[in-house]
Amino acid sequence: MKVAIFGTKSYDKEFFKLEGVNTTHELVFFESRLRVKTAPLARGFDAVCVFVNDVVDTETVKMLGEFGIKVIALRCAGFNNVDLIEAEKQGIEVLRVPAYSPYAVAEHTLALILTLNRKTHKAYNRVREGNFSLDRLTGFDIYGKTVGVIGTGKIGQIFARIMKGMGCKVVGFDLYPNKEFEKEGVLKYVTLNELLESSDIISLHCPLTPQTHHIINDHSIWRMKKGAMLINTSRGRLIDTESAIRALSKGHLGYLGIDVYEQEEKLFFRDLSETLIRDEKMLNLMSFPNVLVTGHQAFFTDTALTQIARVTLGNLTAFEKGEELVNRVGSEAIKG
Ligand code: NAD
């Protein structure tokens, strides 16, 4: 198949080229993200391949349909940026990589927690400047704390096991509680309100859907314990950033660690170090000493990049050969 790979960075090319030698697909790399303006680049291709911040909305999907695109291959797990209903109307299959390395994301979640708690980022800078004082580096023991996991799928379960291993009490909330997992004794399912009210650390691992959009808002954030830590390595729009800023300003939210951000499309995956950043919410967030932001790097391990390229190309091969599409995402995924 002739595949237009949008939004590519050097590492995408490297891993797709390596895995591509085992396939017959013709891979063409575009640095531009897919959106209405860049969709004409897909003319003459059989498939497009996109990542988290490509905008595959109604209008874009309609254009892809007109160009005869047969497949939208997501090289990620989340599919919130694709109009699945329009894709179905246009007869375009949407395929994804359901799990490339859930360990990578769960481990990065732990990295955010430990950094925020023990302030290793601050200690690193201090020591390099010859400042060995411990002032304001106080942390807390994670052992014995209650950790709330919202969304107990692949990543949420691995994260829950890690935190259980650290001696935490783990509680979970999921639309579809996994009773088998609960039986293992790693976590106990509770209601969302119970989780919010009892947890010292809350970590989001549910997908972004109409139901989970701003699941953390003014109402839910104030149900959290004063001084609690909130971590989001899932999708930016799970948190109403303005609510988080209000709760941080009033000292209610103790720590915020985010690898994803509501308006990340305009910032992430780019070097803006020589640019004036005008995103007021991000500037505001970065002014808090108890906020840690990483630029959507939770997935970013060599294991995950290999798996992303391998599964994406495998999905395209399965489509081409008329095989069962095990990684298909239908519109039912957002109707739940
Ligand atoms: P998964 O599908 O295995 O698990 C998601 C879980 O969320 C499921 O158990 C599901 O029942 C639950 N859920 C769905 N709707 C819910 C709701 N309204 N309330 C509570 N729970 C709900 O997905 P996964 O592989 O664990 O990935 C989770 C998310 O992580 C993805 O959707 C993606 O957005 C994000 N992600 C981020 C990165 C990164 O680099 N930061 C990388 C990969 C995935």
Q: Is the CB of 298 under 6 A from ligand 1?
A: yes
Whether ligand 1 lies within 6 angstroms of the CB of 156 is answered as: yes
Q: Name the CATH superfamily for 2-100+301-334.
A: NAD(P)-binding Rossmann-like Domain (3.40.50.720)
Query: Which one of 75, 237, 264, 310 is the catalytic residue?
Result: 264
Among protein residues, the one with the nearest Cα to ligand 1's atom 14 is 206
Report the SS3 class of residue 232.
strand
* Residue 270 annotated among the catalytic residues of the structure: no
Question: Max CA-CA distance within the chain?
Answer: 64
Report the distance separating Cα 22 and Cα 262, nearest Å: 37
Test site for ligand 1: of 51, 174, 332, most ligand atoms within 8 A of the Cβ: 174
Whether 150 is in the pocket of ligand 1, judged by its Cβ within 6 Å, is yes
What are the pLDDT digits (tens) for 52-84?
Answer: 889 999 999 999 999 999 999 999 988 989 999
Catalytic residue among 235, 237, 262, 310: 235
The answer to whether domain 2-100+301-334 and domain 102-293 are alike in fold is: yes
Ligand 1 neighbour 155 (Cβ under 6 A): yes
- 150 forms beta bridges with 173, 204
Residue 170 and residue 198: Cα distance in Å, rounded?
10
Alpha-carbon 267 to chain mean position? 15
Q: Kindly give the distance from the C-alpha atom of residue 3 to the centroid of ligand 1, in angstroms, as a whole number.
A: 27
- For ligand 1, mutation pick of 80, 84, 101, 155 (most atoms within 8 Å of CB): 155
Q: 102-293: which CATH topology?
A: Rossmann fold (3.40.50)
Q: Report the phi/psi class of residue 141: left, alpha or beta, with left for phi > 0 and alpha for psi in -120 to 50.
A: beta
Annotated catalytic residue 264? yes
Give CB contacts under 8 A, 24+ apart, made by 52-55: 52/76, 52/78, 52/81, 52/296, 53/7, 53/81, 53/264, 53/265, 53/268, 53/269, 54/6, 54/7, 54/81, 55/81, 55/265
What stretches of 179-296 adopt beta strand conformation (E)? 188-189, 201-204, 228-232, 253-258, 291-293
User: Does the global pTM surpass 0.80?
Assistant: yes
Tens-level pLDDT at each residue, the chain (336 residues): 999 999 999 999 999 999 999 899 999 999 999 999 999 999 999 999 999 889 999 999 999 999 999 999 999 988 989 999 999 999 999 999 998 889 999 999 999 999 999 999 999 999 999 999 999 999 999 999 999 999 999 999 999 999 999 999 999 999 999 999 999 999 999 999 999 999 999 999 999 999 999 999 999 999 999 999 999 999 999 999 999 999 999 999 999 999 999 999 889 999 999 999 999 999 999 999 999 999 999 999 999 999 999 999 999 999 999 999 999 998 887 765
Degrees to nearest 5, angle at CA 221 with 269 and 278: 35
Q: What does the domain layout of the chain look like in residue ranges?
A: 2-100+301-334, 102-293
Q: What is the ipTM of this complex?
A: 0.99
Q: Is the CB of 105 under 6 A from ligand 1?
A: yes
Nearest CA to 42 out of 64, 12, 73 is that of 64
Residues sharing a CB contact under 8 Å with residue 147, sequence separation 6 or more, in sequence order: 160, 163, 168, 169, 170, 171, 199, 200, 201, 202, 203
Atom of ligand 1 nearest to the CA of 300: 40
